[in-house]
Amino acid sequence: MEFELNEEQRMIRQAAREFVEKEVKPRAREVDETGQFPWETIRKMGPMGFLGINVPEEYGGAGGDEISLAILLEELGRGCGSTGLITEDHICLASEAIAEFGTEEQKQKYLVPMARGEVLGALSLTEPGAGSDLVGGVRTTARRDGNEWVLNGSKMWTTNAGVAGVIVILARTDPAGGSHSLSLFIVPKDTPGMHVDPPEKKMGLHGCWSHAVSLDEVRIPLDNLLGEEGRGIHEALHVLDGGRIGIGALSIGLAQGALEAAISYAKERQTFGKPLVGHQAIQFKLADMATKVYLARLGVYHAAWLKDSGKPYTMEAGMSKLFASEMAEWVAYQAIQIHGGYGYSREYPVERIYRDARLMTIGEGTSEIQRLVIARRLIRES
């Protein structure tokens, strides 16, 4: 879709690509093998405006649109899945929640430093017994006590929690249950009673840390309620819609990286007296891989355009996330096949890309949940 990008979007892509080639891609293997958080890279992204790319300028951001955000996430994913997901969660989840539902005071206090890259953010929804079923499964509670909220409970898989300065937490404010029983809260780092466990040991995305978070009589001001009391699940689902566009873009970047690695390898590898790329079986694989990447990109850009235009985009976000995430895993698989035995070795990037891509079909709504979202919207609109 290069021909449809405007000048600003092309400039963002060029800047992001140059940054990734210089700062992100060369460190990807080290980040994966050591499991170290890529602080050096993340700190350089703030001054470039990347960590607040779609936040309005009055709140410290670059004022870009959703397509620009998708372009950035794709380029980051092409270089390093961990760096891409760190950025996606910070922008699409934590920052988006405060930008959409925060008061002016909350935006000035929390969103501005987040958009400038001075502070990272996290969104904490999932619990040991609550993944897809947030309405019925969330056990973390928030009760009023004078001029404070008191939070108690446990969270799981909170990306960036160990490095975040701000965590947005979903908690139950009405023990009666139901769709109006949950609310979102802004909890600053180091609030007494909040404990973040060490990073989980994961299959991939080793440099992007995910944590269990425990809350024991955590006290925050009443003003730290984000949005409306009892509207937390509706607000969270709205944020996840945008996050699904982000995951779709990140998935495209992973797939693009795998495709480029496969083409490069196929040009160099000699089999049966000619380069691997000269065999029709390999050419067909590459053609199918490129076609799927192209179509996924169109879907993500369209969903981003709908969001920019203020039009409904829930179904399209689900579609683009579903297709792009499953596409990325398939393309990475094909890239490994093209590499043969070398594809199973850590010496080549496709092994890492495959492990990183696997999470995309799970995070921010599994493929099964996406299909439910799409089907229900289709049935309702028919």
DSSP states of 82-151: HHHHHHHIIIIIIIHHHHHH--HHHIIIIIHHHHTTSS-EEEE--BTTBSS-HHHH---EEEEETTEEEE
Phi, psi at 220, each rounded to 5° = -135, 155
Phi, psi at 122, each rounded to 5° = -140, 150
Q: Rounded to two decimals, what is the model's pTM?
A: 0.96
Give the C-alpha separation, 361 to 366, whole Å.
5
Catalytic residue among 18, 316, 364, 381: 364
pLDDT tens string, the chain, 382 residues long: the values are: 445 799 999 999 999 999 999 999 999 999 999 999 999 999 999 999 999 999 999 999 999 999 999 999 999 999 999 999 999 999 999 999 999 999 999 999 999 999 999 999 999 999 998 888 888 899 999 999 999 999 999 999 999 999 999 999 999 999 998 999 999 999 999 999 999 999 999 999 999 999 999 999 999 999 999 999 999 999 999 999 999 999 999 999 999 999 999 999 999 999 999 999 999 999 999 999 999 999 999 999 999 999 999 999 999 999 999 999 999 999 999 999 999 999 999 999 999 999 999 999 999 999 999 999 999 999 998 8
| 100 catalytic per annotation | no
